[in-house]
Amino acid sequence: MKHIKAMAIKFVATIVVLFVILDVIFGMSFTNVFFISLVLSVVSYLVGDIGILSRTNNTVATIADFGLSLIVIWFLSAALTFENRTPLFIISLISAAAIALVEIVFHKYVSSYTFEKESDDFLPKHRYYYSNNYQTEASKDITPEIEKNKENK
- The DSSP line for 2-35 is HHHHHHHHHHHHHHHHHIIIIIIIT---HHHHHH
Domain-located, residue 65: yes
What residue type is assigned to position 97 of the chain? A
CA distances (Å), 117 to each of 66, 73, 105, in order?
26, 33, 19
Domain-located, residue 94: yes
Domain-located, residue 124: no
Which domain does 27 fall in, by range? 1-109
pLDDT at res. 138 = 60
Domain-located, residue 23: yes
pLDDT at res. 132 = 55
- Per-residue burial over 100-122, b = 16 or more CB atoms within 10 Å of its CB, e = otherwise: bebbeebbeebbeebeeeeeeee
Count up the domains in the chain and report the number: 1
Q: How many CA atoms lie within 13 Å of 66's alpha carbon, on the beta-carbon side? A: 13
Average of pLDDT values for 95-109? 92
Helix (H, G, I), strand (E, B) or coil at 81: coil
pLDDT at res. 3 = 84
| Mean predicted lDDT score pLDDT of the chain | 81
Average of pLDDT values for 138-150? 62
Average of pLDDT values for 94-111? 92
Q: How far is it, in rounded angstroms, from Cα 67 to Cα 26?
A: 21
Residue 117 or 113, more confident:
113
Domain-located, residue 55: yes
Domain-located, residue 151: no
Residue 20 or 131, more confident:
20
Domain-located, residue 143: no
Q: How far is it, in rounded angstroms, from Cα 133 to Cα 131?
A: 6
Q: How far is it, in rounded angstroms, from Cα 132 to Cα 89?
A: 56
Q: What is the pTM of this model?
A: 0.70
Domain-located, residue 38: yes
pLDDT at res. 28 = 87
